[in-house]
Chains A and B, each alone.
Chain A
Amino acid sequence: MNLGSDIAYIDTFHRRKVRNTIFKIIVIVLSVITTSPIILILSKLIIEGVGQINLDFFTQLAPDTFQAMSAKMSGEKIPGGIVNGITGTLFLVLLASLIAIPIGIMAGIYLYENGSKRYTNLIRNIADIMQGIPSIVLGIIGYIWIVKNITHGFSALAGSVALAIMMLPLIIRSTEETMKMVPESIKEAGAALGVPYHRIILKVMIPSSFSGLMTGILLAVSRIIGETAPLLLTTLGSPVINFEIDKPTSAVPLLIWNFYNDPNMIDLIWSSSLFLMGFVLILNLISKRIIAHREKN
């Protein structure tokens, strides 16, 4: 070996190390940049939103534009709250869950029980495609099916059908995945004792996978709770509290949209968004907790 090739060797080795370090720094910097939007968005919501959150915020109806304007002119805080939105959101989520949870869980069990056949794979593929359908398209579906043909007007039912179709594929998938984790032996023990099939499902499979099913449902709810677009086309919004399925209903995201479009109400958008965000985060945290708890056991 001569000196020349040694120097060349050390030279390329050095260059490779430098290149490696530069790349690592780029990766770290870009990763830190990636976290910045969430921090900026959360801090904006908290800084601008906390001021309007008080008891009235949770108990009063949303103000109309004149109330907001006169409060603004006399330099007071905007009166009222978002109680019609909160009750509306809860109502819509409840209705959507009533539709999506039984169908989703039963379809998930069917897929699990029937393994990989042509028909079950078709259903799986359809569920996959449904999961990717833009929510606004589901709004159109809710409009055509329910608003035009059943309730003949904007209604809570139309919105919850759109939201239920959003929830379905998520629940089907999570049900099938959790069922796979139920030990075969306890089902066989039931069958060996002569327990009928539907009772094995109800008394063995569902209870022993309960936490998994719950996580899937919570994640599905947290996905739909902030949806605005499909509701614009289906439930429209309402200035009062409504619990009738054939009447227009408000929802927190719809109220945010109204506040955003009304220059007098701007002060309310941040508190409403903070509330909505908090709700979604809490649902996410609970389901993460359940997953962590299950993995420990």
Chain B
Amino acid sequence: MKSEKITKYVLFAVSLIILLIFAGMVFSLAGGAMPVFKEYGLKFIISADWNPTTGRESYGALPFIIGTLITSLLALLICFPLSFSTSLFIAEFYHKTRVASVLGTIVDLLAGIPSIVYGLWGFYTLRPVIIALGLSDQGFGIFTSSIILAIMIIPYATSLSNEIITMVPTELKEAAYSLGATRFEVIFNVIIPNARSGIVASYILALGRALGETMAVTMLIGNANIIPDGLFSTGNTMASLIANQFGEADGLKLSALIAIGLLLFLITAIVNALGKYIIRKFS
């Protein structure tokens, strides 16, 4: 009996480690961000001025918050028609066929490609196309980053939506078919209304992925510390700014970068929690 108690306590203690790691992360990020929030207060979040030159130092996170939101939302917009069609292909049109499982495997492979490889491909293959189309001079910017981000989040959006779509009760679909509905009508009048919240949740979770993507965006967005003023403008996201400037940072600049890390942490946590909450309610 005694050894049983010990085992139980050990397991409990280990679960406590998870809690401690999480609390420690929040604590460390908040601690590291403290100096910059003391200096600027909440103005840090709404200021658009980022200037690390000594003597004229000024730090504001707004350009990067906006850059992150624009690239991620645009990525979601580009991703949706592709991944939703793929979900319908796999989970409805060709459900349980060989061709659907092959397509599923191919889409899953996308999740296995490292971010830096996406960046390289974007730099050497996609960027020249953007330049050739005359969309921008150098090919860097919000639009290029968003296309790569869209490709990167396709597997996450697809696999979850697949599950949600297959969860729609067969009786409902068959009832509609028996009344003479076409597949198009079943999809839009039975599947989508029934699976709506689950589908929304899977795209929210995919958005959570896009918000934090670092390397590929760093290589493609052009790294300009400005609020992007158009689709083809250069910019920076919160993640790409940290990747770019963390190396040589100290003092107030380091604190500003940690503060941006804290904001990114909070934004992704909220987005993910929202997605998980909807999924849980759905199932």
Chain A proximity mask over B210-247: 1 for CB below 8 Å, otherwise 0 = 01111100110000000000000000000100110011
A33: interface (CB < 8 Å): yes
B116: interface (CB < 8 Å): yes
B268: interface (CB < 8 Å): yes
- Tell me, rounded to whole Å, the shortest Cβ–Cβ distance linking B218 to chain A: 8
Task: Tell whether, in the assembled complex, residue A197 and residue B18 are in contact, meaning their CB atoms are under 8 Å apart.
Answer: no
Task: Tell whether, in the assembled complex, residue B183 and residue A20 are in contact, meaning their CB atoms are under 8 Å apart.
Answer: yes
- Tell me, rounded to whole Å, the shortest Cβ–Cβ distance linking B64 to chain A: 12
A189: interface (CB < 8 Å): no
Interface centre among A30, A45, A227 (most CB of B within 10 A): A30
Chain B proximity mask over A8-40: 1 for CB below 8 Å, otherwise 0 = 000000001101100110111111011101101
Closest chain B residue to A29, Cβ basis: B85
Task: Tell whether, in the assembled complex, residue B125 and residue A136 are in contact, meaning their CB atoms are under 8 Å apart.
Answer: no
A23, A44, A103, A269: the one within 8 Å of B125 (CB): A44
- Tell me, rounded to whole Å, the shortest Cβ–Cβ distance linking A129 to chain B: 5
Task: Tell whether, in the assembled complex, residue B184 and residue A144 are in contact, meaning their CB atoms are under 8 Å apart.
Answer: no
A204: interface (CB < 8 Å): no
Chain A proximity mask over B240-276: 1 for CB below 8 Å, otherwise 0 = 0011001100000000011001001100110111001
Residues of A in contact, count (CB < 8 Å): 78
B11, B21, B103, B276: the one within 8 Å of A106 (CB): B11
A31, A103, A133: the one within 8 Å of B268 (CB): A133
Do A228 and B265 form a contact, CB below 8 Å, given A24-B183, A31-B89, A135-B214?
A: no
B15, B117, B208: the one within 8 Å of A123 (CB): B15
- Tell me, rounded to whole Å, the shortest Cβ–Cβ distance linking B126 to chain A: 9
Chain B proximity mask over A119-134: 1 for CB below 8 Å, otherwise 0 = 1101101111111111
Chain A proximity mask over B155-196: 1 for CB below 8 Å, otherwise 0 = 000100000000000000000000000111101000000000
Task: Tell whether, in the assembled complex, residue B89 and residue A27 are in contact, meaning their CB atoms are under 8 Å apart.
Answer: yes
Task: Tell whether, in the assembled complex, residue B89 and residue A136 are in contact, meaning their CB atoms are under 8 Å apart.
Answer: no
A208: interface (CB < 8 Å): no
**Residues of B contacting A181 with CB < 8 Å?**
none
B93: interface (CB < 8 Å): yes
**Residues of A contacting B183 with CB < 8 Å?**
20, 23-24
**Residues of A contacting B265 with CB < 8 Å?**
133-134, 137
A137, A232, A277, A284: the one within 8 Å of B117 (CB): A277
**Residues of A contacting B88 with CB < 8 Å?**
27
Chain A proximity mask over B114-149: 1 for CB below 8 Å, otherwise 0 = 111111110111000000000000000000000000
B55: interface (CB < 8 Å): no
Main secondary structure of the interface of B (DSSP, over half): helix
A64: interface (CB < 8 Å): no
- Tell me, rounded to whole Å, the shortest Cβ–Cβ distance linking B222 to chain A: 15
B3, B115, B242, B273: the one within 8 Å of A129 (CB): B273
Do A41 and B3 form a contact, CB below 8 Å, given A31-B86, A34-B107?
A: no
Do A228 and B17 form a contact, CB below 8 Å, given A28-B89, A140-B261, A281-B109?
A: no
B85, B115, B218, B247: the one within 8 Å of A27 (CB): B85
Closest chain A residue to B11, Cβ basis: A110
Task: Tell whether, in the assembled complex, residue A197 and residue B114 are in contact, meaning their CB atoms are under 8 Å apart.
Answer: no
A90: interface (CB < 8 Å): no
**Residues of A contacting B182 with CB < 8 Å?**
16-17, 19-20
Stretch at the interface among A52-60, A75-83, A239-247, A253-261: A253-261
B106: interface (CB < 8 Å): yes
Closest chain A residue to B28, Cβ basis: A144
**Residues of A contacting B77 with CB < 8 Å?**
none
Task: Tell whether, in the assembled complex, residue A141 and residue B25 are in contact, meaning their CB atoms are under 8 Å apart.
Answer: yes
**Residues of A contacting B113 with CB < 8 Å?**
38, 41, 226, 277, 280
A206: interface (CB < 8 Å): no
Residues in A261-297 with C-beta less than 8 Å from chain B: 269-270, 273, 276-277, 280-281, 284
Do A260 and B18 form a contact, CB below 8 Å, given A38-B110, A137-B212?
A: no
A4: interface (CB < 8 Å): no
- Tell me, rounded to whole Å, the shortest Cβ–Cβ distance linking B202 to chain A: 14
**Residues of B contacting A27 with CB < 8 Å?**
85, 88-89, 93
Q: How far is the CA of A106 from the CA of B213 in the complex (A)?
A: 30
**Residues of A contacting B124 with CB < 8 Å?**
44
**Residues of A contacting B268 with CB < 8 Å?**
132-134
Chain B proximity mask over A51-95: 1 for CB below 8 Å, otherwise 0 = 000000000000000000000000000000000000000000000
**Residues of A contacting B119 with CB < 8 Å?**
260
Do A141 and B215 form a contact, CB below 8 Å, given A126-B18, A229-B243?
A: no
Residues in B1-48 with C-beta less than 8 Å from chain A: 3-4, 6-8, 10-12, 14-15, 17-19, 21-22, 24-25, 28-29, 31-32
Task: Tell whether, in the assembled complex, residue A38 and residue B117 are in contact, meaning their CB atoms are under 8 Å apart.
Answer: no
3 nearest A-B residue pairs (beta carbon): A134-B212, A226-B114, A30-B85
What are 12 A-B pairs at a CB distance below 8 A?
Answer: A44-B125, A45-B117, A106-B11, A106-B15, A127-B18, A129-B273, A135-B214, A141-B28, A143-B246, A165-B21, A198-B3, A227-B114
**What would 6 more interface pairs be, CB under 8 Å, given A130-B18, A132-B209, A137-B261?**
A45-B117, A110-B15, A134-B239, A228-B115, A228-B116, A280-B113
